[in-house]
């Protein structure tokens, strides 16, 4: 049952985020996915910012947090797996925090508000830990039955997350939005793949 719930929450979480970014971007005149943060869609003063925050970021965060719990319960237990799924949980908390603490318009103010500061802190842990999180999960998955491909995807994702993080450290970069999406895709691709692995494993093992 935990494997099936991991699959459902992974599918819903990733799909919800994708729809939110596409619809939110289309509703924001002049929005550029390459140069702008995803958080700018839900910023104070952004078109439909409240809707993006509460109907987008919040449910996405809750779904991915739920995935991290169900996947941890369903996957073979190890210290590496536990630490990795804690990292996924912290990553997802960044989405939840984005709903409660929306960034200032543009997300790069010279004098940040309290909400902006909390917004940045909320997402910092998950982003900073993303490369290590995927590395740990890649190592953990090496011992899971039939999960060599998932382990390799974890290592590839760790490299992708590191590249994305390196670009995010320069918030003045004209491609900062692209780097953020590289990091997000690295993490969420593994989440989705893990959901399928656990869901299929659960159904295969059923009598």
Please report, for the chain, the start and end positions of each structural domain, with discontinuous segments joined by +: 2-205
Q: Please give the biggest Cα pair distance in the chain.
A: 60
pLDDT of residue 114: 94
Residue 44: per-residue pLDDT: 92
Give residue 202's pLDDT. Answer: 47
For 45-78, how does the pLDDT look when each residue is reduced to its tens digit (9 = 90+)? Answer: 999 999 999 999 999 999 999 999 999 999 999 9
State the pLDDT at residue 102: 94
Q: Which residue positions in the chain have pLDDT lower than 70?
A: 202-207
Given this model, what pLDDT does residue 20 score? 96
Whether pTM exceeds 0.75? yes
pLDDT in tens, 5-32: 999 999 999 999 999 999 999 999 999 9
pLDDT attached to residue 54: 96
């Amino acid at each position: 049952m935990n494997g099936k719930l991991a699959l459902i929450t992974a599918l819903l979480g990733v799909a919800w985020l994708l729809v939110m970014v596409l619809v939110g971007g289309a509703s924001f005149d002049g929005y550029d996915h390459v140069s702008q943060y995803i958080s700018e869609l839900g910023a104070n003063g952004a078109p439909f910012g409240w809707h993006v925050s509460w109907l987008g970021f919040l449910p996405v965060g809750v779904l991915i947090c739920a995935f991290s719990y169900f996947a941890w319960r369903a996957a073979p237990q190890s210290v590496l797996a536990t630490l990795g799924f804690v990292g996924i949980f912290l990553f997802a908390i960044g989405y939840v925090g984005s709903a409660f603490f929306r960034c200032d318009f543009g997300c790069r103010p010279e004098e940040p508000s309290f909400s902006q500061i909390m917004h940045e802190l909320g997402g910092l842990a998950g982003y900073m830990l993303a490369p290590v999180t995927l590395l740990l999960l890649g190592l953990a998955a090496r011992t899971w039955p039939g999960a060599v491909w998932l382990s390799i995807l974890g290592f590839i994702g760790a490299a992708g997350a590191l590249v994305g993080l390196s670009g995010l450290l320069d918030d003045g970069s004209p491609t900062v939005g692209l780097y953020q999406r590289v990091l997000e895709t690295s993490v969420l691709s593994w989440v989705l793949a893990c959901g399928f692995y656990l869901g299929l494993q659960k159904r295969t093992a059923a009598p």
